[in-house]
Structure 1
């Protein structure tokens, strides 16, 4: 009684005790979902920040492409240098590690999804060297080189020898499932439990087409500082145009990807608020079921007080008895 709670509310509730136990179960499940959605929300927030940074890199690179004429001969060298640096920065962003998980590795989140940027840059340089082995790269040679890049980035087979984006660049075993894909290793979207039998899915891995196109564009741009003995002006223009088209598409895709991810974040936020209200409501119901009826308690305390006074009175009388009186 002093605690203000019933000692055994389930006994007094009878068959209604199942409601009490269900409320406790609802609170436990709600707190579990609330914790899961909170952590997932922070993961998506970190992923969104990385996406924003990747988009910023694209925004920084696009104006550089347009400055080639103004920068004269140094323009290509500056673009190639910036492309290599940005490719490294993009790799670092997509290898973001948060709370024990690599955010862009899908279900295979224990290891970084991407290899070092230098692996792709070395591959691109090797392909260029092969293309210029018989003389300076012409416009036709540049088109053939671009085809080689297209083939490598489109190949879904895992090959670390440079014949596939998978293995050379993307190392995770969890791949983006684009729907209807023939990719033998495509994986289902990542899932977050948001309710009983209900999940929220999101699909942002480092092999997303937007990222692949960005890697292709930057690796092409990294070749532009080749000496004039290896590459003609027409070839540079062809590589630059191809990379520019890819980067414009990448920026659009990143905007869509960030928007979709943002809607997932909003949904998680709403779920967290709903769970918080549900937990508060269940707690209030439990308090009503387990709380003491103060009128009943007052009556019981009065009865106990009378019994206690009677006990004290009898004890006092017994203390007055002598052995003679007893006899």
Structure 2
């Protein structure tokens, strides 16, 4: 689980860095190209983190651990985003006509058609090969825990949304108002993703605590069994026979005395 922890921590760090770049860039009027580069770098790291493998198994693949869960952005997701934009407005993000879009129109697209690209069906068909079902591990005779995280988690989708909108629309022909709307939406979306990611990390931390507790209990049981075995193996057979013979003699005497007491009757003494 350490690899999962490391990947989640790295994803959180990437999200923080990107969010800070957006906020400072928005306030300082940083050139779009700089923010687009940051978004593309974040997308590359995002796929790399979620495609982490351990011995040939992709740790964020759920039970479908034999396949890398996250697709390369340029191999499918980007085209789907451009297609949705084009279907909505009748021109591509790079078309000069995109400069005429205002903030309200862009927000409407981001909240609807763009957001729909990250619902269950579209995420699975465009972005992710992971299964929703994750690994379960038995840590004690009566206790099972969730021991993996799926790339289909809402936290990851929201991070992907934030990175993708800046990557595609920041490099297009949008005017300043629409671009500012994209930046603002990306900041909010990344923030939501960070909060959801924190919840995922907390759940994994709880699992690790349960595993540690189970290991402690098992170690205690092992020590008790080892002590009992040592006690049995450490008995001298001769001494044990003597003790058994003594106890047998005492038991026979007890039986004899009891029988005699039962036979006693005042009639015998009249």
Alignment-derived partner of residue 151 in structure 2: 206
Q: Is the 8 A contact 2:26 2:180 kept in 1?
A: no
Alignment-derived partner of residue 165 in structure 1: 123
Alignment-derived partner of residue 267 in structure 1: 210
What are the within-5 Å matches in structure 2 for residues 17-56 of structure 1? 44-56=1-13
- Mapped to 1, the partners of 2:179 and 2:149 lie a distance apart of 33
The residue matched to 1:67 in structure 2 has which SS? helix
Structure with the higher helix share, 1 or 2: 2
Alignment-derived partner of residue 105 in structure 2: 141
Q: Is the 8 A contact 2:102 2:175 kept in 1?
A: yes
What are the within-5 Å matches in structure 2 for residues 153-192 of structure 1? 153-154=118-119, 156-157=120-121, 164-172=122-130, 174-175=131-132, 187=133, 189-192=134-137
Aligned length: 233
Q: Is the 8 A contact 1:190 1:201 kept in 2?
A: yes
Q: Deviations over 1:63-102 (max 9, x none)?
A: 111223565361x211111111111111110111113421
Aligned residue among 100, 103, 107 for 2:63: 107
- Mapped to 2, the partners of 1:141 and 1:127 lie a distance apart of 14
Higher relative contact order (CA 8 A, sep 6+): 1
1:87 and 2:43 correspond: yes
1:72 and 2:29 correspond: yes
Q: Is the 8 A contact 1:95 1:104 kept in 2?
A: yes
Q: Is the 8 A contact 1:132 1:231 kept in 2?
A: no
Alignment-derived partner of residue 14 in structure 2: 57
The residue matched to 1:65 in structure 2 has which SS? helix
Aligned residue among 183, 199, 223 for 2:168: 223
Q: Is the 8 A contact 1:79 1:224 kept in 2?
A: no
TM-aligned CA deviation for residue 294 of structure 1: 5.9
- Mapped to 1, the partners of 2:195 and 2:170 lie a distance apart of 28
Q: Deviations over 1:278-314 (max 9, x none)?
A: 11211221232234416549x9xxxxxxxxxxxxxxx
TM-score (norm 1): 0.65
Q: Deviations over 1:251-277 (max 9, x none)?
A: 111122112211211211121122122
Alignment-derived partner of residue 115 in structure 2: 150
Q: Structure 2 unaligned runs (5+)? A: 243-270
